[in-house]
């Protein structure tokens, strides 16, 4: 997420200061504020490098430094830096291939909005679960089909149209927008709701200046936008409800010492949405009872256990559970026996 936020910073600053429509400055200012807050909450060496390059691009735009050709290459250089800091490129491409195979099963209309429970097992079989979790392109393709992907194609067409008809300053901003789209084909950050909404706001502001459509085409674009946002709205709702149910289960085990009720609530939370804290809390319940095999099964099926295990270089059930709980801001002493 760091890389994406830093990629978008010069675009937010550019639109905040250059856009003619004063009313657009308020949502853009809010977007920029969220971006800066998120940067302060994260730590990344590569992210710092990208930030420096982003600032160079921003300065070249606003102070009209005589380095326009260099500025064109900055977005591409940022893509390379961020990609080098993540997974191996061959692994990303294998995830993309698995995603295309899943979409090909129901290409036109997909499996339906919010059909994570139906789609996730297919990715588990392909051993490529990570792509669905992190790729907005794959998510909307799998859930709502190729029709919804037309929205992205229209957006790309609009950016390219503006890119080749705008002034030099807008060309630099347009190249950055395209670099974000290219970057997200391999790095999968557009699935994060805040990232996607920020990108949509800035893209809309960028295109609003001179890009126009007929009333009929505008209605079509509005329908496509609603379809594209459906998985996003489901994510917001399901994630929030799952977190509430998890909190109720945590309260039962900590204050009422009702292990059975807590287990029911954790399972209910996971039925709504695969909320990682619920996975680790449920596994901790089984581990505390000595049912290590059941705890290990939940860990193996977890969305994030493999990443945690790779990071900590540990293979013990207790260590992975403890690390997982800490990662999600939960004190292991609360839910995990330390005997």
Secondary structure of 39-62 in HEC code, one letter for each residue: HHCCCCHHHHHHHHHHHHHHHHHH
Number of domains in the chain: 2
User: Following DSSP, what letter does each residue of 244-298 receive, concatenated?
Assistant: HHHHHHHHIIIII--HHHHHHHHHHHHHH---HHHHHHHHHHHHHTT-HHHHHHH
* Token pair recorded at residue 265: 């609530």
Indicate whether 172 belongs to any domain: yes
Do both 33 and 169 map to the same domain? yes
Q: How far apart are CA 227 and CA 221, in angstroms?
A: 10
Residue 201 · residue 158 · CB < 8 Å: no
User: What is the reported pLDDT for 12?
Assistant: 57
**In a domain? residue 88:** yes
Residues 250 and 184 in one domain: no
Pure H helices in 85-192: 89-105, 116-125, 129-134, 136-163, 168-187
Query: What is the Cα–Cα distance from 73 to 69, expressed in whole angstroms?
Result: 7
Q: 225 lies in a domain?
A: no
38 plus 154 within the same structural domain: yes
Residue 219 in domain:
no
Name the nearest CA neighbour of 253 among 242, 244, 241, 266: 266
Q: Give pLDDT, residue 67.
A: 45
Q: Tell me, what CATH number does 323's domain have?
A: 1.25.40
Answer for the pair 172, 78: CB distance below 8 angstroms, yes or no: no
Spatial CB neighbours of 226, under 8 Å, sequence gap ≥ 6: none
Q: Are residues 164 and 268 in the same domain?
A: no
- The tens-digit pLDDT sequence of the chain (339 residues) is 544 555 555 555 555 555 555 555 665 666 566 556 556 655 556 555 655 665 665 555 555 544 455 555 655 665 665 556 555 566 666 767 777 887 888 888 777 766 665 666 666 555 555 555 556 677 777 777 787 777 777 777 777 777 777 666 566 667 667 766 766 666 656 655 556 666 666 666 666 654 444 444 556 555 555 555 565 666 667 777 888 888 888 888 778 788 788 888 888 887 777 777 788 888 888 887 777 777 777 777 665 544 444 444 445 666 666 766 666 567 666 676 655
Query: Alpha-carbon distance 129 to 76, whole Å?
Result: 28
- State residue 324's pLDDT score: 66
* Together in a domain, 250 and 157: no
Please identify, among 178, 212, 246, the residue that sits at the C-terminal boundary of a domain. Answer: 212
Helix, strand, coil shares of the chain as percentages rounded to 5?
Answer: 80, 0, 20
Contact 123, 131 (CB under 8 A): yes
Does residue 251 sit in the same domain as residue 206? no
127: left (phi over 0), alpha (psi -120 to 50) or beta: left
- Domain span at residue 59 reads 2-212
Q: Identify whether the C-beta of residue 174 lies closer than 8 Å to the C-beta of residue 143.
A: no
- Is 118 within 8 Å of 154 (Cβ atoms)? no
Residues 178 and 284 grouped into a single domain: no
Residue 21 lies in a domain: yes
280 neighbors 328 (Cβ within 8 angstroms): yes
Answer positive or negative: Cα dihedral of 243, 198, 16, 211: negative
Q: Identify the residue whose tokens are 């899943």.
A: 102
Q: Does any domain span residue 228?
A: no
- Whole-angstrom distance, CA of residue 323 vs CA of residue 328: 9
């Amino acid at each position: 997420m760091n890389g994406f936020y830093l990629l978008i910073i010069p675009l937010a600053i550019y639109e905040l200061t250059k856009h003619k429509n004063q009313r657009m400055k308020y949502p853009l200012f809010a977007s920029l504020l969220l971006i800066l807050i998120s940067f302060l909450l994260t730590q990344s060496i590569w992210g710092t490098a990208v930030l420096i390059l982003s600032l160079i691009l921003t300065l070249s735009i606003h102070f009209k430094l005589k380095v326009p050709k260099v500025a064109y290459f900055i977005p591409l250089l940022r893509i390379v830096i961020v990609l080098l800091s993540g997974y191996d490129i061959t692994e990303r491409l294998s995830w993309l291939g698995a995603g295309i195979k899943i979409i090909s099963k129901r290409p036109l209309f997909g499996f339906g909005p919010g059909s994570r429970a139906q789609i996730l097992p297919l990715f588990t079989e392909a051993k490529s679960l990570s792509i669905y979790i992190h790729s907005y392109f794959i998510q909307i393709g799998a859930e709502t089909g190729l029709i919804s992907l037309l929205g992205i194609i229209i957006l790309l067409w609009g950016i390219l149209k503006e890119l080749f008809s705008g002034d030099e300053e807008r060309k630099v901003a347009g190249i950055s927008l395209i670099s974000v789209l290219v970057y997200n084909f391999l790095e999968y950050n557009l699935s994060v709701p805040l990232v996607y909404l920020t990108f949509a706001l800035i893209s809309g502001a960028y295109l609003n200046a001179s890009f126009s459509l007929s009333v009929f085409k505008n209605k079509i674009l509005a329908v496509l936008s609603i379809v594209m946002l459906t998985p996003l709205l489901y994510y917001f709702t399901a994630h929030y409800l799952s977190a509430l149910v998890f909190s109720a289960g945590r309260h039962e085990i900590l204050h009422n010492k009702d292990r059975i009720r807590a287990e029911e609530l954790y399972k209910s939370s996971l039925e709504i949405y695969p909320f990682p804290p619920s996975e680790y809390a449920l596994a901790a319940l089984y581990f505390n009872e000595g049912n290590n095999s059941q705890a290990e099964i939940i860990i193996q099926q977890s969305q994030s256990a493999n990443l945690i295990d790779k990071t900590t270089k540990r293979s013990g059930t207790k260590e992975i559970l403890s690390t997982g709980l800490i990662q999600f801001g939960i004190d292991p002493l609360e839910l995990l026996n330390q005997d």
